[in-house]
Amino acid sequence: MTELLTGWLAATPGSMTPLLFAALGLILCERAGVMNLGAEGLMAIGAVGAALTVLATGSPWLGIALGALAGALLALPFGLAVVVFRAEQTLAGLALVAIGVGLAAVIGREAMHKPFAGIARLDLAPLSAIPVLGPMLFRQDPLVYAALAMAAALGLGLARTRLGLKLRAVGEDPATADAAGVDVQLQQLGAVVVGGALVGLAGAYLAGVASRVWVDGMIAGRGWIAVALVVFAQWSPWRAVLGALLFGAADALLPRLLAIGADVPIYLMAMLPFVLTIAVLTLVAVARRGRGRDAQPAALGRTYLRQDRQL
């Protein structure tokens, strides 16, 4: 039992990290008032971008960087569509999923099932030798720690910096922000592109660190879990860490049970993260009742037209 617990806890941060990167990217985008449902497609293009780069160059770090860049490049036309041309954000996000998943399948055909070098874990001995918690806390790859640092940086940036204030103002009341001299479109477009890079980084992590191979369909619904995680976290980067840890633990459980030869219903266990998603969203909806307005940005998903501004 101790071996199972230790292995499960050690695998949880690796399962948490892509969900956390994706959730942070979506939080950044949605705090600026742009609803982005395209995480599944952005993660897919980030994953295939990382895989193709590593296979071509042999550099896992370059693969991670170009996977993030692929996410940003795919997010750019989405941002232009919803911010500049005022396309309906929900439908545009769903189209982004179809485009990203389909494009990844096409350009990734030659890379299918070809293993490549990944990023090794750090081993912070002797701390990693601490029973049970040592491997979880001190024997992880560098991007696990980078994701936690990024969550802290985003949380502090949104709360305490001038740029964060502008971004939140745009998401809450774009007309007032516009009247105060904030370039609403620039803020929103920048948030969409940078957020897309973070979501692409999540996919790159799955291919370049967690799996070290590209397989069509490897995102396997994690983009949708990230969308739910944003709601669970109430658009807070700090809460996103706790939510990603919870969902990551559920995702990491099945492989550990199979590794010790446990007789478990595989398909039912594979449903666990999605059942947990529904349960968490239900609990969040129930908790909202009787309270005032929740933490959702007031202008989320709304198209802002300057001529509609009340002067």
Distances (CA, A) of 283 to 150, 278, 289: 27, 9, 10
Closest CA to 67 of 271, 205, 263: 205
Classify the C-alpha dihedral 62-65-71-72 as positive or negative.
negative
User: Do the domain assignments include residue 123?
Assistant: no
User: Do the domain assignments include residue 74?
Assistant: yes
What is residue 79's predicted lDDT score, i.e. its pLDDT?
Answer: 96
What is residue 146's predicted lDDT score, i.e. its pLDDT?
Answer: 96
User: Do the domain assignments include residue 298?
Assistant: no
Tell me the pLDDT of the chain averaged across its residues: 89
In angstroms, the CA 90 to CA 36 distance is: 7
What is residue 6's predicted lDDT score, i.e. its pLDDT?
Answer: 81
Alpha helix (H) residue ranges in the chain = 2-31, 39-57, 60-79, 89-107, 133-138, 142-160, 162-172, 174-179, 184-205, 222-232, 237-259, 266-270, 272-288
Highest mean pLDDT among 56-65, 132-141, 261-270, 283-292: 56-65
User: Do the domain assignments include residue 266?
Assistant: yes
Distances (CA, A) of 175 to 1, 30, 307, 309: 58, 17, 10, 6
CATH code of the domain covering residue 74? 1.10.3470.10
Residue 287 has pLDDT above 80, yes or no: no
Q: What percent of the chain has pLDDT over 70?
A: 92
Closest CA to 151 of 243, 30, 237: 237
Residue ranges making up the domain that contains 187: 2-113+131-291
Task: Tell me the average pLDDT across 155-159.
Answer: 95
User: Do the domain assignments include residue 165?
Assistant: yes
State how many domains the chain has.
1
Residue 246 has pLDDT above 60, yes or no: yes
* 75: its two tokens: 């997010």
Question: Residue 154 — very low, low, confident or very high, per pLDDT cuts 50/70/90?
Answer: very high
What is residue 311's predicted lDDT score, i.e. its pLDDT?
Answer: 46
pTM listed for this prediction: 0.92
User: Do the domain assignments include residue 119?
Assistant: no
Residue 225 has pLDDT above 60, yes or no: yes
pLDDT digits (tens, 9 = 90+) for 108-134: 988 898 999 889 888 888 888 888 888
User: Do the domain assignments include residue 108?
Assistant: yes
In angstroms, the CA 52 to CA 252 distance is: 26
User: Do the domain assignments include residue 125?
Assistant: no
